[in-house]
Amino acid sequence: MSKKRDDIIDTTSDLLERQGYFATGLNQIVEESGAPKGSLYYYFPGGKDEICEEAIRRSGASLEKSIDRAMSEADTAAEGIAALVEGISRAMEASNFGAGGPLTTVATETAGQNERLNNACEEIYESWRATFERYIRKDGIDSIRAERLSTLVLATMEGAIILSRTYKSTEPLQRAGAELRELLEFAR
Amino acid sequence: MSKKRDDIIDTTSDLLERQGYFATGLNQIVEESGAPKGSLYYYFPGGKDEICEEAIRRSGASLEKSIDRAMSEADTAAEGIAALVEGISRAMEASNFGAGGPLTTVATETAGQNERLNNACEEIYESWRATFERYIRKDGIDSIRAERLSTLVLATMEGAIILSRTYKSTEPLQRAGAELRELLEFAR
């Protein structure tokens, strides 16, 4: 992997996270990554959408690893969610609520009008959901319920992160996480 | 209230819902509302941010009425949520998943960088949450738990609508809604 290519993707990921898809232009990516404009087109002949797709896929894979780590180290899905909520809360505070994953903004901005990025968002969400489902099933919960619960967990985490970013407080995430934990404990 | 002013706000609300804050420019608002550019500045001397704030406040108040209606007509909070999920699912299908409220996109795009719109988003979210809390407390649930549950409900609805828009299917909303209903029934 080329370092220049990596820098371009990481810079784009940061920009998408802070401000979203529409506000992020190629010129800003060039400026902030320090990569010459020619190298952008060399590495990404598909232009902005190709760079954005790579950026959300990379950060999606990285968050999936964090989910997997938190869930695999815990004894139950409920405890795994609690650890994940703690980890995300700390990351949000450390970034002064600038962080929260680039996916949400890109997903809401492009849902109806950019098939390439919409498909990428759907694949990433579905992959996160399947990870939650795998660990919920380990608790002995049947597959139909585990599918429902994993959808609830993913939706709640998404929404709670938006609320926490908006309120500039981890409280929404903490409160929603406490209820998720209770529900997952009870479902076993 | 002036009809021209109303048209400008409604057009902006639609545009924010379909594409978000950054992609929505004053020229597009002028074009699609049919209002002369001069009237934009006459009614909204604060420019784009003033129009956007009015648009999200108006659609926030309108959704709050829908929440209040669904919850007040039901016997329990759980049944109210089920009715709300049905109503939102139908509206999403009717709009071919273009609808989903302008607030989410604006909230994620502006969280870290536009205090005026960030404050408006926070006030609207908090007002929706308080509405859910009021009805959850009517079920006899104590105030600390009702605060937690109302945060969970709001976060889940937010996240599930994003997933449903991304998947172009009401299934995420239906699945998450079924689990919310179960939790609210059990908490009574």
Residue range A150-173, pLDDT digits in tens: 999 999 999 999 999 999 999 999
Asked whether the beta carbons of residue B151 and residue A166 sit closer than 8 angstroms, the reply is no
Shortest CA gap B2–chain A (Å): 31
* Contact by Cβ (8 Å): B43, B26: no
Residue B107 placed within a domain = yes
Residue type at A39?
Answer: S
Q: Tell me the pLDDT tens digit for each residue of B128-184.
A: 999 999 999 999 999 999 999 999 999 999 999 999 999 999 999 999 999 999 999
Residue B146 placed within a domain = yes
| Residue B26 in contact with partner chain A when CB distance is under 8 A | no
Q: Tell me the pLDDT tens digit for each residue of B40-89.
A: 999 999 999 999 999 999 999 999 999 999 999 999 999 999 999 999 99
Residue-averaged pLDDT of chain A: 93
Asked whether the beta carbons of residue A155 and residue B163 sit closer than 8 angstroms, the reply is yes
Chain A, window 144-183: residues with a beta carbon less than 8 angstroms from a chain B beta carbon? 147-149, 151-152, 154-160, 162-163, 165-167, 171-172, 175-176, 178-180, 182-183
Residue B37 placed within a domain = no
Q: Tell me the pLDDT tens digit for each residue of A80-105.
A: 999 999 999 999 999 888 777 778 88
User: pLDDT category, A1, cuts 50, 70, 90?
Assistant: low
Residue B85 placed within a domain = yes
- Enumerate the residues of chain B whose CB falls inside 8 A of the CB of residue A149: 179
Instruction: Name the domain count of chain A.
Output: 1
User: Residue B101: pLDDT above 80?
Assistant: no
- Enumerate the residues of chain B whose CB falls inside 8 A of the CB of residue A122: 166-167
Domain of residue A62, residue span? 3-187
Alpha carbon B187 to its chain's center: 26
| Residue A91 in contact with partner chain B when CB distance is under 8 A | no
Shortest CA gap B1–chain A (Å): 31
Residue B106 placed within a domain = yes
| pLDDT value at residue B2 | 84
Question: Residue A10 maps to which CATH number?
Answer: 1.10.357.10
Beta-carbon contacts of B51 under 8 Å, excluding residues fewer than 6 positions away, are: B8, B9, B12, B29, B40, B44
Q: DSSP secondary-structure letter at A71?
A: H
Interface probe for A, chosen from B110, B163, B171, B185 (most Cβ of A below 10 Å), is: B163
Three-state DSSP state, B47: coil
| pLDDT value at residue A13 | 94
| Residue B20 in contact with partner chain A when CB distance is under 8 A | yes
Structure tokens at A44: 């990404």
Residue B103 placed within a domain = yes
